[in-house]
Structure 1
Amino acid sequence: MKSKQILSLLVAAAAVLASNAYAHGDEKHPTAQKYDASKVEDTPFGRQGDPKNASRTIRVGMSDKMRFNPESITFKKGETVRIVVANQGAVLHEMVLGTPQALKEHAELMKKHPGMEHDEPSMTHVKPGATGEIVWQFTKAGEFQFACLIPGHFEAGMVGNVSVK
């Protein structure tokens, strides 16, 4: 095995072992946001979508190999979608939508404050064997990402790509 492969395996193993210790996975995190049109805010990558307007459902799996399946998703500008996220692993995972820079910054913040609580429409925290969902309207064309920002998971490569055309 090459040293880079060994390092990747060690990072992934450490992430799996450590993720259960972080308060980030406590019971206070919901698996889906309630839609309230008066509270919807625009972001650089879209806004919370009204579930009644979802044109399709996309299913994404998360595994303890620190990967999403599929790793890339394409949407149409203006499209509202329901993303159903299944945690097929044995540890807590999450899906967070965002710009590459915002996700990187958030991942760094999570390393400094692993017990930080947050509840945004662009994310879902999913316990092992469970599912969560995000309903999102992609209002801007561009290249965005989704990631698991639990400390160690992002660094192990648990990142996917979103293309909005």
Structure 2
Amino acid sequence: MKKLTSTLLAVLVTGASMHVFAHGNEDHAKKAGPVKKEQKAWGIAGDAKTVNRTITFAMTDDMRFTPDKIDVRQGETLKFVIKNGGKVMHEMVIGTRKDLDEHAALMQKFPTMEHEEPYMAHVGPGKTGEIIWTFNKPGNFDFACLIAGHYQGGMLGKVTVVASK
């Protein structure tokens, strides 16, 4: 019993330190608090008042995004409207390939893991989500669905941010 209690405690502590939450079909935006503005290699959370352009993405159960490539000017703030036309949960996560690979590996180990970050949207079947993001750094970045198996099935796309002059 003591070993079971120690093991359970270790699992709970590990889970709590990783901020693990269950993926569900709830509308996560309703419970979201203030947007955390943390500079990332691929940009920073944007402000709805400064949106330069809106791009609508479709996610489907064929494990694809449409469009799967976008071009952005450095400094541009985009509103991504993400529509899940499938029958299962999908998500859109923006990042570097390295960050997405690391997060995807964690999702394989902990398939119910979820984070509330401004560069991701969890979208239930038939629902719509959004991300407002400022691409303030030039470079080649990616977006993907990191739900276990989706990324590995090819559910990813490219963002090319061209340096401002």
TM-score normalised according to structure 1 size: 0.80
Unaligned segments of structure 1, at least 5 residues: 1-22
In structure 1, distance between residues paired with 2:29 and 2:108: 22
Which residue, 92, 97, 118 being the options, matches 1:121? 118
Which residue, 22, 25, 44 being the options, matches 2:23? 25
- The C-alpha deviation readout for 1:22-67, integer Å capped at 9, x for no partner, is x74225661485554xx41100000000011001100000000000
Which residue, 135, 145, 157 being the options, matches 2:154? 157
Contact kept? 2:95, 2:142, Cα under 8 Å:
yes
Residue of structure 2 equivalent to 1:131 = 128
Identity %: 48
Which amino acid in the other structure matches residue 100 of structure 1?
A: R
Is 1:62 the counterpart of 2:59 in the alignment? yes
Which residue, 116, 127, 140 being the options, matches 2:137? 140
Residue of structure 2 equivalent to 1:13 = none
Is 1:97 the counterpart of 2:88 in the alignment? no
Name the Cα RMSD after superposition. 1.7
Residue of structure 1 equivalent to 2:41 = 44
Q: CA separation of 1:78/1:35 partners in 2, compared to 1, >3 Å: closer, same or farther?
A: farther
Q: CA deviation at 1:116?
A: 1.6
In structure 2, distance between residues paired with 1:157 and 1:140: 26
- Secondary structure (helix, strand or coil) at the match of 2:103 reads helix
Residue of structure 1 equivalent to 2:70 = 73
Which residue, 84, 88, 110 being the options, matches 1:87? 84
In structure 1, distance between residues paired with 2:34 and 2:53: 17
Residue of structure 2 equivalent to 1:107 = 104
Larger Rg: 2
Q: CA deviation at 1:134?
A: 0.2
Q: CA deviation at 1:94?
A: 0.2
Contact kept? 2:25, 2:125, Cα under 8 Å:
no
In structure 1, distance between residues paired with 2:137 and 2:61: 32
Q: CA deviation at 1:126?
A: 0.4
Which amino acid in the other structure matches residue 76 of structure 2?
A: E
TM-score normalised according to structure 2 size: 0.80
Which amino acid in the other structure matches residue 74 of structure 1?
A: D
In structure 1, distance between residues paired with 2:114 and 2:127: 20
Q: CA separation of 1:109/1:115 partners in 2, compared to 1, >3 Å: closer, same or farther?
A: same
Moved >3 Å (runs of 4+): 31-36
